[in-house]
Structure 1
């Protein structure tokens, strides 16, 4: 009896945030049997006391921004800075170009700061629409400690200093979009627009020279989509998104959240590779995708592979949903 109780305590202690006892038990058995290493990093110690009043994370989900969320408007590599590079995505209704300055292209981890700002803006607009607060502006000014806690990072000196470089990269990474659509009068028009991921930033340091507050101004199009829409569409992102370690893993989760939602979606490996902006080969990218499938610890979604007409296909299925028997469209196949 004591042995069973001790085993249960061990599994409960090893469980990840949001993971049930049975899920944790199955994962630990797989790891012991030599299964693929986890793609989810351990949460920081500051997670032990989660702030229940911290607003949930939201992502922009309007029609105009859907194509942007289906491509990587940031680099997915931790090592490659990609300074001075341009990534172009050709889409059915136009194209997107992401270009970077000498400080390097903003990374998917840098983008966490934007997600936090979008989350708080969405919450503030919800309160405003309910008559419980003032209409928010584009400027977001959080304490550095709150940023690290929201993004589930350790509260250390290096992490605080890194946020300065994050702001610089976000401010010097430019996203240019060109899309063709039908106007109200029925004519076909092409719209070209571009903006940095954040319009400006300011760092406030304390007497010891350490960053204490960050002030950023959201890109105008992000602000407009949340504030001007009567019923802006937002997608809740799982808190464990911040614990996904590989950049490709983060991109796949965002794609699944956008394309699969509460059901499922199928995308060709080739298309995911092209939308990721990866500088490596398709072969290497496919190897990483299969590691994600093997680990199978993505928040909310189960990943699997099946054969397609032009190559392998990634199946992204919401964990509580079941795939029907009807024939479905495979993106990129």
Structure 2
């Protein structure tokens, strides 16, 4: 593992501590999972850009960021995330969206093959199925957390404006906005014991799956759901899109700007270096290089996979 550049105030202490740390939590015994599921939606891939390059949710577990607005200025437009009074949806809340997209993608594949009906935007899973898919425990708190996640997802609004080139060669600008999920419903078996969820995914997400000859999605490694730090999940999503089967380099400063993090670069760099030092994200190895404008994160597809969090 390469040591960090000299601008790190205590590289050896950080390196030693990282050997004891892990980015992956342990999987619950009843939620191991071994499916390689199609999940992350490759939004905007029609013109080579995607909101997988930005965080459309908060990465912090503690800071709820109620009422906050994050705006990302991109080469072809912008993405703006606005949180409601219940708080901004988190990257862990977004697991529910990933599951919905995965199942609708599978249904769309069957429909294209003439083996089923065209899927709509509604997704109706059992709570226990969601928890197993997301590799979480099946306790009462986890069930209540999913209900609260639905509220935050439905009140976190995404506004986008992008320019793209049509098949005829004309450049058009498209502006659209919608919450991460349009609506939800929870069915309880008894008071405080949710049993079923019903969510309606955003129209722009549904179009990415349904329109065109193939669903516009990327696969996500099952160990993604075991990544504990929010910044680790952000880095994996970025690597999955930007590095693919090869390699990608992003400056720490750009990563800060694309993560939506509210803290200073120094604190962001500290957290990022912790993830780099553990270097146990699924599929991708991470290391730091010195750049002319500051430190750079290198994300490279690894030949094997690190041990699962099981």
| 8 Å contact kept, 2:127–2:143 | yes
Alignment of 1:61-140 (within 5 A): 61-62=42-43, 63-64=45-46, 66-140=49-123
1:214 to 197, 211, 227: 197
SS of the equivalent of 1:206 reads: strand
> For residues 34 and 162 of structure 1, do their structure 2 counterparts lie closer, same or farther at Cα, with a shift above 3 Å needed?
closer
SS of the equivalent of 1:254 reads: helix
Residue 148 of structure 2 is aligned to residue 165 of structure 1: yes
> For residues 161 and 234 of structure 1, do their structure 2 counterparts lie closer, same or farther at Cα, with a shift above 3 Å needed?
same
Matched residue, 1:324: none
- Give the C-alpha shift of residue 122 in structure 1: 0.5
Matched residue, 1:284: 267
Larger RCO (CA under 8 A, 6+ residues apart): 2
Matched residue, 1:228: 211
Deviations 1:276-295 (A, max 9, x none): 00011111101111111111
Residue 23 of structure 2 is aligned to residue 42 of structure 1: no
Higher normalized strand content (fraction of residues): 2
SS of the equivalent of 1:77 reads: coil
> For residues 178 and 42 of structure 1, do their structure 2 counterparts lie closer, same or farther at Cα, with a shift above 3 Å needed?
same
| 8 Å contact kept, 2:31–2:137 | no
1:143 to 97, 118, 126: 126
Moved more, 150-159 or 199-208: 199-208
Larger radius of gyration: 1
Matched residue, 1:180: 163
- Give the C-alpha shift of residue 123 in structure 1: 0.6
Deviations 1:241-270 (A, max 9, x none): 000000000000000000011111111111
**Gapped runs of 5+ residues in structure 2?**
1-14, 305-310
Deviations 1:154-189 (A, max 9, x none): 000011011111000000000000112334454433
Matched residue, 1:239: 222
Report the Cα distance in structure 1 between the residues aligned to 2:272 and 2:245, rounded to whole angstroms.
21
Residue 169 of structure 2 is aligned to residue 191 of structure 1: no
| 8 Å contact kept, 2:39–2:220 | yes
For normalisation by structure 1, the TM-score amounts to 0.82
How many residues of Structure 1 are paired with residues of Structure 2 in the alignment?
288
Deviations 1:78-106 (A, max 9, x none): 00000001000011111110001100000
**RMSD of the alignment, in Å?**
2.0
Report the Cα distance in structure 2 between the residues aligned to 1:183 and 1:61, rounded to whole angstroms.
18
> For residues 55 and 318 of structure 1, do their structure 2 counterparts lie closer, same or farther at Cα, with a shift above 3 Å needed?
closer
> For residues 208 and 265 of structure 1, do their structure 2 counterparts lie closer, same or farther at Cα, with a shift above 3 Å needed?
same
Deviations 1:38-75 (A, max 9, x none): 11101112135x4x7x6724221251584211000000
> For residues 32 and 251 of structure 1, do their structure 2 counterparts lie closer, same or farther at Cα, with a shift above 3 Å needed?
closer
Deviations 1:181-206 (A, max 9, x none): 33445443322110100010000001
